[in-house]
Amino acid sequence: MKRLYFGTDGVRGLYGSATMNEDFAWRLGAAAARWLQANGVAPGGRVLIGRDTRTSGESLAQALADGLVHGGCEPSSLDILPTPAVSQAVRIRGAVLGAVVTASHNPATDNGIKFFGANGIKLTDAEEAAIEALLPARRESAGVFPLKPVDGISGYLYAIEKLLRARLAGWKIVLDTANGATVHTSSHALRDYGAEVLAIGAAPDGLNINAGVGSEHPEKMCEAVRRHGARLGIAHDGDGDRCILCDEHGEVLDGDEILTILALHALQRGTLAKNTLVVTVQSNLGVEAAVTAAGGRVVRTPVGDRYVIERMLAEGAVLGGESSGHVICADVAPTGDGLVAALKVIQVMSATGRPLSELRKVLVKFPQLSLALKVRAKKPLETLANLPKAIQALEQELGERGRVLVRYSGTEAKLRLLVEGPTEAAVRAGLDRLQAAARADLEVI
């Protein structure tokens, strides 16, 4: 069943638009409650709602809660809390559902809603489609339910603070929390380990989430690492399920590098479950080359951390993620957690005594370039006149020496182009050809 509103990571859009406003949030809450009951959950089931720091988050969370109450659920508020902490709270408090009001790495003008099942794992495509099918045509009640507050921070921090055996006394770490949901949790955990934390992106005002800071804008983090002589930098996105690092020289490490470091370290110690790393089609071919050479295997999924998690469960794998910085360490949590990913890398640094600038050398990337084109409408790719032909021709030219990935973003009105190949020149030429074809077929804005 095709989904109309849910994308790769929940429902997301411009706040105030037809599909991201209080009335729609109410309808979504009512539909989720109906879906729970249709699946045998008795009325009165507890639902936990968290959010990031966006100004629109509080009213959307309230409307979502009111819809859930209308449908027979009992929602409680986790207030501002990272997405992975909401996942954990759902599991340890025995809730029937979790919801996070967030647009992740998007600007403050956007917002979104994503759900977690009772196991703390994001809902499947089929489950989201089933919720959509139960959406009421209109908001049916104007009642406002007083939300009971629930502490989700202390339990999350308690679990986090058991991850590292070594103390971090003498470690200087730059932490960029994107003016988002990790502003209190990540700094608290690192300081409890004894690190000196230099915080940026740590003054949320409801409008500055992801604004020039965070995992999408690591430049300030890198500059601060160089200026202060820090051992590493850590950058989250707005809801804290992503992690981008920089080494002691201020050079960025993306999710592919993080995953390769963790996978090879685990392979060397015989602790990588099934010797398997799960990544998406977006990940660089160099990841596969490095892991295979070390005796492991790489499995690929469509883009979206939900698909990574689903495949990890099917494979019995414990490590997976995306080049964007979603890293899932299933031995700790069943969803992406930026702080856990950072601590896992710090654990490797401590165990080996090697800085990030050396550890990152395990991944030799194939030349790769990508581009995102903002489009007026997401026309089906197979109906376009020029782009499919350009893709086919380029794939034939590259053969096994490279690959082409063209897809629409699941959360934004963007066409994403990626070319990987044997040389920078070949990749650049290929990307230029794809871009020209896309512009001939689509209205790019």
Give me the active site residues, please.
104
Closest CA to 67 of 97, 111, 106, 109: 97
Q: What angle do CA 319, 286, 278 make, to 5 degrees?
A: 20
CB 86 within 8 A of CB 78: yes
User: Which DSSP category does 365 fall into?
Assistant: P
Question: Token pair 């002589």 is at which residue?
Answer: 229
CA distance 410 to 260: 25
| Cα–Cα distances in angstroms (integers) from residue 435 to residues 4, 386, 395, 426, 441, in the given order | 27, 10, 15, 14, 10
| Other residues' Cβ atoms within 10 Å of the Cβ of residue 192 | 13
CA distance 432 to 428: 6
CB 209 within 8 A of CB 106: no
Cα torsion 431, 433, 437, 440: sign: positive
| Other residues' Cβ atoms within 10 Å of the Cβ of residue 71 | 22
Cα torsion 19, 23, 27, 33: sign: positive
CA distance 295 to 263: 11
